[in-house]
Structure 1
Amino acid sequence: MVARFKNRAEGGRRLAAKLEHLGPMNPMVLALPRGGVPVGYEVARALGLPLDVFIVRKLGVPGHEELAMGAVASGGIRVLNSALIAELGIPKELVERVAEREMREIARRETRYRDGRPPADVHDHLAILVDDGLATGATMFAAVSAVRASGAKHIVVAVPISSPDTCSQMRQHADEVICAMTPEPLYAVGLWYEDFTQTTDEEVCALLAQTAGAADTAHTRRAAS
């Protein structure tokens, strides 16, 4: 029997142990809000890396929002499941309407979470994309596409839990994929956490502020030495 994670923080700590080989490469951690931020925070803290958010929103099929017809991400990146859209006969105007709504939510979160801080510059960097788990992987596929378009030189996808198929498919998109657990069947990501309470905007802001404060302190110490 595979042991479940107590919560996202524990998932992050257990995931960090599988990412230690990346430490010397000086990567940055990009967490997908909201649930990926507590995981990413623990990874960044354990490895002594900078943390930022990378905001991606699933495009749910109207009336069946749990079914992803694509996703949008920071920077105006859009990934569509054209086959599903054609199969369901979803009009282009409806896809556009859903995409515009989700882009407004991305803009709101960018303003709320960053508190005036500029987005991390991933150009020529190694980026570790972190979430609390992968089911269909639609949002993470969009995140990988967007980060690559931003000029990242190497992209690692890292999650505590994933379906085996999605973890395997992700390797066709990212340069490296680390899935701490890949149970079969997965059923749902939340089933593998004892506490899968929804992460709030306030928790995201607090974790990012703590990380920013720690980075400022480290910079001050280096400058004084």
Structure 2
Amino acid sequence: MSWNRTKQPAAPDEAVALPYADRAEAGRVLAERLAPMGLNGAVVLALPRGGVPVGYEIARRLESPLDVLVTRKIGFPPQPELGVGAIAEGGEPVFDRGLLDRLGLTEDDMAATVRAERTELDRRVAAYRGGRSLPDVAGRAVVVVDDGLATGGTALAAMRALRVRGPSRLVLAVPVGAEETVRSLAGEVDDLVVPAAPWDFRAVGQWYRDFDQLTDRDVTGWLERAGNGRGHFR
């Protein structure tokens, strides 16, 4: 199935051929879904690293500025790949309280992990944007982009960090996502565009033929391509 919950006319709900060739193709498919929605010039914020090549294609299609919104997963210390929450720059940690309860943990128990992730988040902000601050989104339409939604923890942290900044319209757009996760995020945004939400979703990389791991240099390279280091198509 696909998911297209919008307040504005959107592209026809056509079936998407999976897997995507790569993130660039996924971005172009997503851009065509976003193009009829009156978002030209909206700020496009990609979640690095994987969301940046997707966001590049969207920003180019919408003639919009492209930048990053850095997020970090907060992992269960004995098993860091198990995310119990997430944090986005400028925002507070967002925890999966049900999972914390099942693990017998409190938010206070995660304080050291949160500090470590804030440190890494700050490092990545400096690496990707240097001295530039996060774009001012107050009163502007914002499109948040990632390469997929699995648990949705980082996307949720991103939405809540942005919402308090007062955007006029908050859009979440991803090429593919787990159906349950997509539904759970619908109430956090004004518009949600996900061209594919397969019933047998196990991992984001499952839906790409080329899903290479990206580096910090890859991220800065995409931003430079978008606008000579300013993250803005000219």
**1:129 equivalent in alignment to 2:155:** no
CA distance in 1: counterparts of 2:218 and 2:26, whole angstroms: 17
Identity among equivalent positions (%) equals: 40
Q: Which residue of 1 aligns with 2:66?
A: 51
Shift of 1:91: 4.9
Shift of 1:169: 1.3
**1:4 equivalent in alignment to 2:19:** yes
CA distance in 2: counterparts of 1:187 and 1:70, whole angstroms: 19
CA distance in 1: counterparts of 2:69 and 2:103, whole angstroms: 30
Q: Which residue of 1 aligns with 2:170?
A: 155
**Residue ranges of structure 1 left out of the alignment (5+ in a row):** 219-225
Greater RCO, 1 or 2 (C-alpha within 8 Å, sep 6+): 2
**Residue ranges of structure 2 left out of the alignment (5+ in a row):** 1-15
Q: From the superposition, tell whether residues 77 and 212 of structure 1 become closer, same or farther in structure 2 (CA, over 3 Å).
A: farther
User: For 2:209, what is the secondary structure of its paired residue?
Assistant: coil
Shift of 1:215: 6.6
The structure carrying a bigger helix percent of its residues is 1
Moved more, 146-155 or 115-124: 115-124
Q: Which residue of 1 aligns with 2:11?
A: none
Q: Which residue of 2 aligns with 1:222?
A: none
TM-score between the two structures when normalised by the length of structure 1: 0.91
User: For 2:131, what is the secondary structure of its paired residue?
Assistant: coil
Paired residue type of 2:80: E
How many residue pairs get matched? 218
TM-score between the two structures when normalised by the length of structure 2: 0.87
**1:98 equivalent in alignment to 2:104:** no
String of CA shifts for 1:24-79, please: whole Å, max 9, x gaps: 55311000000000100111012211111001111111222222211111014211
**1:175 equivalent in alignment to 2:190:** yes
String of CA shifts for 1:4-41, please: whole Å, max 9, x gaps: 10111111011100000234553110000000001001
C-alpha RMSD of the superposition: 1.8
Q: Which residue of 2 aligns with 1:211?
A: 226
Q: Which residue of 1 aligns with 2:209?
A: 194
Asked if the contact 2:41–2:65 (Cα under 8 Å) also holds between the matched residues in 1, the reply is no
**1:144 equivalent in alignment to 2:168:** no
User: For 1:190, what is the secondary structure of its paired residue?
Assistant: helix
String of CA shifts for 1:117-155, please: whole Å, max 9, x gaps: 332111111110000000110110110000001111211
Asked if the contact 1:71–1:79 (Cα under 8 Å) also holds between the matched residues in 2, the reply is yes
